[in-house]
Structure 1
Amino acid sequence: MRVLIAPDKFAGTLTAVEAAAAIAEGWRRRSPDDVMDLVPMADGGPGFVDVLHASLGGELLAVTVTGPYGDPVPATVLLHGGRGGTAYVESAQACGLHLTPEAERDPERATSRGVGELLVAALDAGAGTVVVGLGGSGTNDGGAGLLAALGAVAEPADALDCGPSSLATLESVDVSAARDRVAGVRLVAATDIDSPLLGLIGTTNLYGPGKGVAADRLQAVDATLERLVGATDKKVALARGAGAAGGLGFALLLLGGTREPGIGLVAEAVGLAERARQADLVVTGEGAFDFSSRSGKVPYGVAAVAAHAVRPCIALAGQVLIGSREMRALGVESAYAMVDVVGEQASFADPAGSLARLAERVARTWSH
């Protein structure tokens, strides 16, 4: 029996690569003759580069970029196909929420400059296409820092570099140098977020609270992004995906980039559809499997590919928070939870071992 194992990360405990390995280890204990095809997945957020490197190979370029509060942070650029090929970068490596302890977060000062520096590194490496995975950001600056790193200039001079707080003083922006810097290069924003930049369904109101923006500051912070939009392009701010990753989507679209669904882009890059056709069973998973998984998350995307290949798809998760009817609406035959097998405490204490135990038990039902 051939089993395709294509999980997302288990947030806070396991990367997608680690999760796939744990599922395979547990499955083999029960069914050692089954053939495992490990395809760790991502939707553009944390783990995007590692997942693609695990499946595609390519050259990893180590760089140091500016973190959300100015400190240097390590990051990587994945170059696939050599000069003229495709570079993959992950915004969360430069401005991710996980980079700063919760007590020290101040999203009104956080900058996305480091993401722009990742783009510069990809351009310097000779990439013909640069794919930017968007997700998990701790910034809310509309991509102003990214624009500055690529050469955009503003009045006052530092208005783009210190988060929404400095955008409050913004008078004008010239992005022509930034556009020249990426001229001739295909830019792709990989995200499943389709919200605009501004307003009640914009990045600040939807995602700002999760980054630490106080409820009584949401309107003011949104107003600072409106100043950036007024100085650049109001039409782009309304585009689908402009609100992704604190507005990094807006900056990339402003530079002539396009938006592609993250899960679809990764699935195509790793050849998921063909690999699903060769499998007898598809196994996916994530930390918490609930109905929000329909919103562009990995399990829903993997299940859709499995359905197209007419293969059953099951999910393994830390917790399963929906019933069988909702599972089927997501295209998943059955879902199984680690906490039901080993308990919540053990699931967090030994996530890889717990996931392997769950996979071993599930193999009793699904392996031939």
Structure 2
Amino acid sequence: MRVLIAPDKFAGTLTAVQAARAIAEGWARQAPGDELDLAPMADGGPGFVDVLHAALGGELAAVTVSGPHGDAVPAAVLVVGGTAYVESAQAAGLHLADGDVESATSRGVGELVLAAVDSGARTVVVGLGGSGTNDGGAGVLAALGATADVALDAGPAALAAVTEVDLSRARERLSGVTLVAASDVDNPLTGLFGATKTYGPQKGVAEERIAEVDGWLEAFATATDRRTSLEKGAGAAGGMGYALMVLGATREPGIDLVADAVQLASRARSADLVVTGEGAFDFSSRAGKVPYGVAGVASEALRPCIALAGQVLVGSREMRALGIESAYSLVDLVGEERALGAPAEALAELAQRVARTWSR
């Protein structure tokens, strides 16, 4: 039996590569004769560059950029042929922002884009997701040369009085470069479904502050490009999607980009079963997340797809609506303490048990 193992990261515990290896290890204990094909996945968020490097090879260049509060942080640029891949979470991730979102800047992501351009790449793909910033991408624009009548790289609070933004130097800096925003969300920049209202609370924006912070981004959009702020994906990564789009970026779902890179469709057709997974499997998984994307590819290949997750928070009806035959919870099997304390060991144990049911 041939099994395609294509999980996302288990946030906070395992990278996608580690999760794939743990699932394979446990499966092999139960079914040593099965052929296991590992295809770690990502949707544009944390792990995007590592997954693409594992799939595509290429040159991985270490760089140092500005973190959300100005401290130096390590990051990487992956160059494959004439295309460079960077990951916003490395420079502006939730783990770097410390909950102080009103002064957090996305400047380091713009510096990553500059490093990619300086490498000679003519196409730059920016993975968007897992950010701890909510500045509308103003910091990205500042790093690329944009100017305004306020500081663009001092967080969203600094945008309250903005009335004028000049993008000419940033556009000149990127002349001849194709930008791609790899995003797993389709929110606009502002409003009821915008970046602040939808994702601000998980980044530290208090409920009573949402309207004011959203108003700062409204002012920024009015001074820059109001129409683009309403487009799908402008609210990705706290508005970094917007910043890239006003510079001419096209938007592509991160899961689709990675699926194409790892040739997931052809590998699914060669498999008898597809196994995916993530930290928390819930109905939000439908919004461009890895399990939903993998399940869609499996469905097109007429192959069953199952999920292994830290927690399963949907019922069987919702699960099938997401294209998943069955989902199995790590916490239900080993408890939360062990799932967090020894995640690879626990995931391997879960995979071993699941193989009893699904392997021939």
Match of residue 42 from structure 1:
42
Q: Does 1:112 align with 2:109?
A: no
Match of residue 305 from structure 2:
313
TM-score of the superposed pair, with normalisation by structure 1: 0.96
SS in 2 for 1:223: helix
Match of residue 136 from structure 2:
142
Equivalent residues in 2 for 1:205-220 (5 A)? 205-220=197-212
> Which stretch shifts more, 212-221 or 239-248?
212-221
Q: Does 1:154 align with 2:159?
A: no
Q: Which amino acid aligns with 1:117?
A: E
114, 127, 152: which one pairs with 2:121? 127
Match of residue 284 from structure 2:
292
Contact 2:97 2:104 in 1 (8 A): no
Q: Does 1:96 align with 2:90?
A: no
Give identity over the alignment, percent: 72
Q: Which amino acid aligns with 2:12?
A: G
SS in 2 for 1:204: helix
CA distance in 2, matches of 1:208, 1:77: 27
CA distance in 1, matches of 2:285, 2:209: 29
Q: Does 1:357 align with 2:344?
A: no
Equivalent residues in 2 for 1:12-91 (5 A)? 12-81=12-81, 85-91=82-88
* Structure 1 segments unaligned to the other structure (5+ residues): none
Match of residue 237 from structure 1:
229
Shift of 1:225: 1.2
CA distance in 1, matches of 2:169, 2:308: 48
Q: Taking structure 1 as reference, are residues 166 and 286 closer, same or farther at Cα in structure 2, changes over 3 Å only? A: same
CA distance in 2, matches of 1:327, 1:161: 42
Shift of 1:171: 3.0
CA distance in 1, matches of 2:38, 2:252: 24
Shift of 1:35: 1.2
Shift of 1:155: 1.5
Q: Taking structure 1 as reference, are residues 142 and 347 closer, same or farther at Cα in structure 2, changes over 3 Å only? A: same
Equivalent residue pairs, number = 360
Shift of 1:94: 0.3
Q: Does 1:200 align with 2:192?
A: yes
CA distance in 2, matches of 1:344, 1:297: 23
Q: Which amino acid aligns with 2:139?
A: G
Shift of 1:341: 2.0
Q: Which amino acid aligns with 1:173?
A: V
Q: Taking structure 1 as reference, are residues 300 and 141 closer, same or farther at Cα in structure 2, changes over 3 Å only? A: same
TM-score of the superposed pair, with normalisation by structure 2: 0.98
SS in 1 for 2:103: coil
Q: Which amino acid aligns with 1:227?
A: A
Match of residue 345 from structure 1:
337
Q: Which amino acid aligns with 1:214?
A: A
Match of residue 270 from structure 1:
262
Shift of 1:68: 0.2
SS in 1 for 2:3: strand
CA distance in 2, matches of 1:141, 1:204: 9
CA distance in 2, matches of 1:195, 1:234: 15
SS in 1 for 2:102: coil
222, 225, 231: which one pairs with 2:217? 225
Q: Which amino acid aligns with 1:208?
A: G
Equivalent residues in 2 for 1:317-336 (5 A)? 317-336=309-328
CA distance in 1, matches of 2:314, 2:152: 43
SS in 2 for 1:187: strand
SS in 1 for 2:75: strand
CA distance in 1, matches of 2:338, 2:331: 8
Once the two structures are superposed, what CA deviation does each residue of 1:18-37 show, in whole Å capped at 9, x if it has no partner?
00000000011111121111
CA distance in 2, matches of 1:70, 1:4: 42
CA distance in 2, matches of 1:163, 1:271: 39
Shift of 1:95: 0.5
Match of residue 249 from structure 1:
241
CA distance in 2, matches of 1:100, 1:33: 46
Q: Which amino acid aligns with 2:84?
A: A
SS in 2 for 1:108: helix
Which structure 1 residue ranges, 4+ long, deviate > 3 Å from structure 2?
none
Q: Does 1:261 align with 2:258?
A: no
Q: Does 1:7 align with 2:7?
A: yes
